[in-house]
Structure 1
């Protein structure tokens, strides 16, 4: 079963009761540039129902997030706050995820700053999504600031938050910081994953550190727990190419061809 929302066809998953909600249909039909006042009108008395059953709000926010309606999700949460509808970490995390998916890093950091004032405690999901949003927006300094705040609030970082921070450093051309965070992961009992390594290799390439990039790939090839993928090899070969080191690039390419490879994430 599918329905048209604007120019986008949305497939309604079987068993998703939220798609039977007329309020949700009207929210999905809104233009992406809809104003908060339009959202408030649609919600109307529904907010009283949500006050009794908070899970309904979570379902609506979740559906909006899945379909990339970040601004609408943000307006929904704002209306809930204005009407003193109880909000919890699940509501905020869902709205944060929606904004992060939409690349709205400013909205994400605003939501994160609101949470303590409402006595809603942020968790690793909140912070990881915020770091990822800043990384996607090219805001590497803000990404590291969020990671620092996460640690100050004694919320334990996870592989996702650190990988996003490393990737943010890579995009900002801060290869030394990227390497520092990658090396720090085992110290706090986090196991670097292939995303962390790929971001580290890419950062070294951007910083013209082709020898370190090759060394990192060689280390990865010797791991039994992790296998490189095409992104790993491409990043290291690109580092060699930028430095005019074609012979090491060919040797690495040969080594990669004979090594077990993981498929790239889609």
Structure 2
């Protein structure tokens, strides 16, 4: 309910007033309550407070927050939480990065989404199929199908075998842009020398 965020902040403030130091769970719970009630500025402020208090954060807590922001299509909060991970001394994980990319894609910020691909911004992380699928979906949302084709080539460079979901997203992107020759090449498995297997959804999309 909408009142949950007020109660969460009341409990958090009361603990500080009594000389108690709120822990990581307290901050994350309060931020989650604010986010669910669409009080996104308050949620971001709590993340900043978490960093100021130098709490020993962990990846699981941040991943939960970022995934929650992503599900609520709040890309600024997702990115803020991702940046806060680094400031808190917690290394971003593939789960958190992929969720942030998905959040950016839903908001049609495809260029930002591509810039957050693992290995582009975080050299210690290697993108997986979920990373590429999220990035391709971001390109599809903004009708940037040529970039999706380039991403497919990167999949091959990473020695990954394209999943059916990945292929479906790419084919749908080409079909929506009326890029029929590219869609046909994809159906025949000849794009970038990558062996792909379109699923039923992709075939239906291409035939429309």
* Alignment TM class, shorter chain as reference: 0.7 to 0.9
For the residue of structure 1 that corresponds to 2:99, the secondary structure is helix
TM-score normalised per structure 2: 0.77
For the residue of structure 1 that corresponds to 2:189, the secondary structure is helix
Unaligned runs of 5+ in 1: 7-28, 239-266
Q: CA deviation at 1:216?
A: 1.9
The 2-side partners of 1:81 and 1:140 are apart by: 28
User: Residue 120 of structure 1 aligns with which residue?
Assistant: 90
More contact order relative to length (CA 8 Å, sep ≥ 6): 2
For the residue of structure 2 that corresponds to 1:45, the secondary structure is helix
User: Residue 186 of structure 1 aligns with which residue?
Assistant: 156
User: Residue 204 of structure 1 aligns with which residue?
Assistant: 174
Q: 1:154 pairs with 124, 127, 143, which one?
A: 124
The number of aligned residues is 199
User: Residue 73 of structure 2 aligns with which residue?
Assistant: 103
Task: Say yes or no: does 1:228 pair with 2:199.
Answer: yes
Does the Cα contact within 8 Å between 2:172 and 2:205 map onto a contact in 1? yes
User: Residue 9 of structure 2 aligns with which residue?
Assistant: 40
Within a 5 Å distance, the mapping from 1:78-89 to structure 2 comes to: 78-89=48-59
TM-score normalised per structure 1: 0.62
For the residue of structure 2 that corresponds to 1:192, the secondary structure is coil
Task: Say yes or no: does 1:129 pair with 2:103.
Answer: no
Unaligned runs of 5+ in 2: none
The 2-side partners of 1:161 and 1:49 are apart by: 37
User: Residue 245 of structure 1 aligns with which residue?
Assistant: none
User: Which stretch shifts more, 70-79 or 180-189?
Assistant: 70-79
Q: CA deviation at 1:200?
A: 0.8
Q: CA deviation at 1:86?
A: 2.2
Does the Cα contact within 8 Å between 2:171 and 2:186 map onto a contact in 1? yes
User: Which stretch shifts more, 180-189 or 97-106?
Assistant: 180-189
The verdict on how the C-alpha distance between 1:214 and 1:170 changes in structure 2, with shifts beyond 3 A counting, is same
For the residue of structure 2 that corresponds to 1:147, the secondary structure is coil
User: Residue 262 of structure 1 aligns with which residue?
Assistant: none
Does the Cα contact within 8 Å between 1:143 and 1:168 map onto a contact in 2? yes
After superposition, give the CA deviation of every residue in 1:211-258 in whole Å (9 maximum; x if it has no partner): 3213323439xxx9956133x1232123xxxxxxxxxxxxxxxxxxxx
Q: 1:177 pairs with 147, 155, 162, which one?
A: 147
